Every structure is written in structure tokens, then in C-alpha cells.
Amino acid sequence: MSSFALAVRDSSTMLRRNLLHARRYPSLTLNLLLTPVMLLLLFVYIFGGAMSAGAGRDAYIAYLVPGILLMTIGSTTIGTAVSVATDMSEGIIARFRTMAIHRGSILIGHVIGSVLQSVLSVVLVGVVAVAIGFRSTDATALEWLAAFGLLVLFATALTWIAVGMGLVSPNAEAASNNAMPLILLPLISSAFVPLHSMPGWFQPIAEYQPFTPAIETLRGLLLGTGIGHNGWLAVAWCVGLAVLGYFWSASKFDSDPK
């Protein structure tokens, strides 16, 4: 078997294993969905009046949803870090390492599985958003496709980072702590309020991080607001994080296990 065929076959076996875990024990995935859904409901129904500054509920829902969708990805990837850390402490990984299988397949299986879970989670949260009144205005089929592509790319980037975080964490608790920035970053982005409404000293912090350009781009695609340079910025962030996460994870995984 060629090494590429071997990689594909073993990665799909590992993917099946991870999906089996997720299907059999969905509680982790579902728990992680609660955070974005609760924040969505909280901001729309409780804080919405004050936050929207009188612009009306529907307008604020429209403003909020792109950020919530990306936050869903951040939240899902915390689960990735936890399951990678848990998995690495299991004897089965030691077994995999002594088998003549494609080395990377173990991590690739985790990444693809996690990206699929992210997409599924985004769809579920999206359904909630539509149910409470979110409507995409004037998005063309191409823009929908681009939005979907951005979400997948963003999920891939955060997942590779989360895999690295999982690999350096000795246990599940540590992994969940280490991965905390993935859900905190959207809180200090333009997800809930526009950048220009933040204090001046804080604006750079909110601006120069992956969530803000990704949110602005998604907003532009779904709602027709201006994207400007945010599109390229978002893609650059995603590619950069994915590459960084990939090499980080690969080097951690290749070093001798404890």
C-alpha cells in the first residue's frame, strides 16, 4: 500500500473510532453547545434591550449570531483538547504507536472528527438562531458557500491548536483549562458589541485576534455589511493558526511519550 493510501485508510479508521466515541458519549459535545446557546439567549432576551441601544431585537440578533456561531466552534474545540488529552493517557494510544500504521492518522482522525462536530454544532446553534428570529439578508449562494468555507477553515485552525493544547496537557482538567482562551477570546472580540464602542486602550486587544476579523467577515457574508480587509485577515489568521497548530502537535506527538 502506498503511503498516501495508508494515511487515508488509517485516518478514516481513526476518524470512525472518534465518531463512535462522540456518538456513544454525546454529553461532552452537548454540554459544550450549552455555552453559546445560553449566551445567545441571554444577550438577546435579557441584555438585548440595553446592548442594542434601541436598534431593536431583530437587528441585535442579526449582529450577534455570526459571533455566536464562531464561538460555538471555539467551544467545541475545548472538547477536542479534552478528548485528545484523555485519549493520550489511555493505553490504546501506546498500542497504536507500536503498530505499523500511519503515524499521523491518530491526530488526523481527531482533527477531522472535531471539524465535523464543529460543523454539526454550528448547524444546531444556527437552527436555534433562526428559531428566535435570525434572518440572513441578501446573501447569495456564493456568499453562503463562502460563509460555510470560512466556518470550516476556522474550525480546522482552532482544532489544530486545541489538539496541541490537548497534547501538552497531562489530563482532562488541565486540557480544559489550557483551552479556555478558545472560548474567552470571542468574549473580547466584536461578537457582542462593535469595536468602536469599547474603551480606546482595549480596542487593539479586541482587534488583533482571530475572532474579530472572522466575525466581521461572516457578518459581511450573511448580512451584507462591509468586509473590507477583514476577509484576507481572517483567512490569514486561520491558515497561520492551522499551520502553527499542526507543527506544534506533530512535534509533541513525535516526541517520546512519558
Partner 1 sequence: MADLAIAANGLRKSYGDKTVLDGVDIAVPEGTIFSLLGPNGAGKTTAVKILSTLISPDPASGRISVGGHDLATAPQAARAAIGVTGQFSAVDGLITGEENMLLMADLHHLSRAEGRRVAAELLERFDLVEAAKKPASTYSGGMKRRLDIAMTLVGSPRIIFLDEPTTGLDPRARHNMWGIIRELVTGGVTVFLTTQYLEEADELADHIAVLNDGRIVAEGTADELKRIVPGGHIRLRFTDPAAYQSAAAALREAARDDEALALQLPSDGSQRELRSILDWLDAAGVEADELTVHTPDLDDVFFALTGDTDQPNEPKEAVR
Interface segment toward partner 1; rule CB under 8 A; list 8-16, 168-176, 192-200, 235-243? 8-16
90 lines the binding site for partner 1 (CB under 8 A): yes
21 lines the binding site for partner 1 (CB under 8 A): yes
List of residues 6+ apart from 224 with CB closer than 8 A: 137, 138, 139
Q: Which is nearer to partner 1, 34 or 92 (CB)?
A: 92
Interface segment toward partner 1; rule CB under 8 A; list 16-24, 45-53, 65-73, 202-210? 16-24
CA nearest neighbour of 72 among 35, 31, 42, 114: 35
CA nearest neighbour of 117 among 32, 8, 201, 11: 32
Which residue is associated with the grid cell 469595536? 195
Q: Which is nearer to partner 1, 10 or 216 (CB)?
A: 10
Closest approach, Cβ 191 to partner 1, in A, equals: 34
Interface segment toward partner 1; rule CB under 8 A; list 7-15, 32-40, 113-121, 172-180? 7-15
4 lines the binding site for partner 1 (CB under 8 A): no
Closest approach, Cβ 256 to partner 1, in A, equals: 4
Interface segment toward partner 1; rule CB under 8 A; list 49-57, 98-106, 133-141, 208-216? 98-106
Q: Which of 34, 53, 55, 94 binds partner 1 (CB under 8 A)?
A: 94
Closest approach, Cβ 160 to partner 1, in A, equals: 23
Binders in 120-149 for partner 1, by CB under 8 A? none
Closest approach, Cβ 197 to partner 1, in A, equals: 46
99 lines the binding site for partner 1 (CB under 8 A): yes
Interface segment toward partner 1; rule CB under 8 A; list 21-29, 69-77, 127-135, 223-231? 21-29
196 lines the binding site for partner 1 (CB under 8 A): no
Give the max Cα distance, the chain.
64
Cβ pair 105, 14 in contact under 8 A:
yes
| Total site size for partner 1, rule CB under 8 A | 23
The residue ranges that bind partner 1 (CB under 8 A) are 1, 9-10, 13, 16-17, 20-21, 24-25, 90-92, 94-101, 256-257
